[in-house]
Amino acid sequence: MQLTALLTLVGVSFYAAVGVSAAGNFAASCYNIGLLDMTLTAACDDGTGRRLTTYLNLNNCVGNFNGQLKCAKE
């Protein structure tokens, strides 16, 4: 349950922060999505038919702002 909420937060964060393609639904084009400690990993389509393994340190893009998790700028 917590992982689902966190992945949803991250997906929404990317959409709001950088206008991710696929309307912010990274799960539609990424596979093998996982979370280990504070690192989100996935193999994502790059638009040319290849899948690239990518990593995201959540400490770099999510922060605690007065008790609320929000998108943080890198």
- The CATH number of the domain holding residue 64 is 2.30.60.10
Indicate whether this model's pTM tops 0.75.
no
pLDDT for 64: 92
Instruction: Tell the residue number behind the tokens 């638009």, with chain if given.
Output: 47
Higher pLDDT among residues 73 and 51, named by residue: 51
Go through the chain and tell me how many residues it has.
74
Three-state secondary-structure class, residue 9: helix
Give tens-digit pLDDT for 22-70: 457 889 999 999 999 999 999 999 999 999 999 999 999 899 999 999 9
* Total tally of structural domains belonging to the chain: 1
Q: Which of 58, 68, 51 is nearest to 3 (CA)?
A: 58
| Residue range(s) defining the domain that contains residue 24 | 2-71
pLDDT for 71: 85
Q: Whole-angstrom Cα distance, residue 6 to residue 55?
A: 15
Asked if pLDDT for residue 1 goes beyond 70, the answer is: no
Q: Whole-angstrom Cα distance, residue 19 to residue 54?
A: 18
